[in-house]
Amino acid sequence: MKVTPVTSEELFNLLQHQKNWPSGGPPVVFDLRPAEAYAARHMRGAHHASVSADGSIVAPAKSWWDRIVCVYDEEPSGLEDHPVSQTLLREGLARELLVLSEPYDAFQSAFKYLCARGDSKSAMKRPLYPSC
């Protein structure tokens, strides 16, 4: 599986342009920040992901199988070495691994409307990725 760094703008374009068939849908987005940071604010549609003691990924079951997966953190350094990334690479169940090459705050400041508080009920009612 290949690992590809992407900028905030490239991730936005992937989320926008791959939302329909036949592309297989937008990338599955995993937030690797601490649970408190995820609960405070995260990309809409992102799942908080971690690795359990037995080495399996703690995220919605099979959400990443044969899909493109993008991971992000507060700082992009070391994302390829993060336990979630290493597990995805080792298991080979994802189609491709994208790593956001910018901090989460850079994505949030560029695309505020794609980020929401963890407890926001209205964010769940809106489409994940608005149309142009």
Region 40-54: mean pLDDT is 91
Region 82-98: mean pLDDT is 92
SS (H, E, C) the chain: CCEEEECHHHHHHHHHHCCCCCCCCCCEEEECCCHHHHHHCEECCCEECEECCCCCEECCCCCCCCCEEEEECCCCCCHHHCHHHHHHHHHCCCCEEEEECCCHHHHHHHCHHHEECCCCHHHHHCCCCCCC
Region 15-41: mean pLDDT is 82
What's the pTM?
0.86
pLDDT of residue 124: 46
State yes or no: pLDDT of 85 exceeds 90. yes
Q: How confident is the model at residue 107 (pLDDT cuts 50, 70, 90)?
A: very high
pLDDT per residue over 58-83, tens digit each? 998 878 888 899 999 999 988 999 99
Region 102-116: mean pLDDT is 92
